Amino acid sequence: MKKSITLAALLLALGTSVFAAVPAVKIHKSNDEVSFVPLSTEKGFAVKVSKQEPGKSMVMVYDQDKNVIFKDVLTKGTEAEKGYILTSLDNGDYTIEVTSNKQDVKKHVHVYEEDQKKSYIFID
């Protein structure tokens, strides 16, 4: 009887120490990766979105008075890339907002003329 109680206590102690030695694993849901890249042939940029899970991505452009002047759905999948040319915009400040799976990324851009050609610069 003493041996069985001792054996049970030993197994309980060993079992507890094994579970205590293994750390709990936490799963962190990573954010979508949103990037802005200049176009090589035109005065504009591309928006690239890489997502962990499929979902709708949307691009909206606001003028300096916060009026929506452009709205576009990128994709409902996990990867998206689309280019936007800025030469048709008037000179001024704009906000580009990319919404993807409950994440918002905003960039401010200034459109201006340089040597009688439209150009832009991201402001942050």
pTM above 0.85, yes or no: no
How many domains does the structure of the chain reveal?
1
Residue 38 covered by a domain: yes
- Read off the CATH number of the domain in which 68 is found: 2.60.40.3080
Residue 1 has pLDDT above 90, yes or no: no
Residue 93 covered by a domain: yes
Q: List pLDDT tens digits, range 25-70.
A: 333 345 678 888 888 888 889 998 887 777 788 899 999 999 999 9
Residue 71 has pLDDT above 70, yes or no: yes
Residue 16 covered by a domain: no
Residue 81 covered by a domain: yes
d(CA 45, CA 84): 5
Residue 88 covered by a domain: yes
Look at residue 23 in the predicted model and tell me its pLDDT: 39
- For residue 84, what are the domain limits? 33-123
Q: CA nearest 97: which of 54, 56, 55, 68?
A: 68
Residue 13 covered by a domain: no
Please check whether residue 97 is in contact with residue 60, taking contact to mean a CB–CB distance below 8 angstroms. yes
Tell me the two tokens of residue 60: 């909206």
Residue 6 covered by a domain: no
Q: List pLDDT tens digits, range 46-55.
A: 998 887 777 7
Least confident of 26-30, 37-41, 92-96, 120-124: 26-30
Look at residue 18 in the predicted model and tell me its pLDDT: 38
Look at residue 74 in the predicted model and tell me its pLDDT: 82
The one-letter amino acid code at 99 reads T
